Structure 1
């Protein structure tokens, strides 16, 4: 019997039931939920880094984006508000499109 002890998507219990298996779940407190979302973000990021092709990478990016949506909600903001902060930072500091790799800064 595998033990997972991790946050899963909302419809996973129904998926498990459809294959005729039983399971144990519990509802997390708000603080536990935020902590588990943070863990899940690292898990999905690791899966993205290990993706072997573009299709797999896109799947993992979608999972990361789902977590970003949930974390925004945990912090009491919408994804549009997060996007506004992202756009403001991009306006002030730029994005990553130019592929600039900083090697060192010299103090003079």
Structure 2
């Protein structure tokens, strides 16, 4: 039987059991959830990197967005606050839309 040791969506145990299988789960404390969410962000980022088409990218971005929403709840940050922070960073440093790739900074 595979061992996963990872954060999963809330209904995954019921989905597994609905297929006639059993699973062992733990309910994480808030502190443990914060740690496991950070690991899950990295896992999902790798999956975004591996996405081969629009549909796969959409699914992986949805997972990242769900993690973001969960992090907002846990850290008590409103979506409005997040958007304000995003806009402030965009105003100060720009976005990523122009595809600028920094190769090197030379000291003069």
CA displacement at 1:11 relative to structure 2 = 0.7
**Equivalent residue of 1:27, what SS?**
coil
1:6 corresponds to: 6
Q: Please give the residue correspondences for 1:46-85 in structure 2 after superposition, counting only pairs within 5 Å.
A: 46-85=46-85
Query: Following the alignment from structure 2 to structure 1, what is the Cα–Cα distance between the partners of residues 106 and 7?
Result: 45
CA RMSD of aligned residues (A): 1.3
TM-score in terms of structure 1 length: 0.91
Map 1:28-39 onto structure 2 (within 5 A).
28-39=28-39
**Offset of residue 79 of structure 1:** 2.4
Count matched residues. 108
Is 1:41 the counterpart of 2:41? The answer is: yes
- TM-score, normalised via structure 2 length: 0.91
SS at match of 1:26: coil
Deviates more, 1:97-106 or 1:20-29: 97-106
Unaligned stretches of 5+ residues in structure 2: none
Residue 51 of structure 1: how far off its partner (Å): 1.1
Give the C-alpha shift of residue 96 in structure 1.
Answer: 1.1
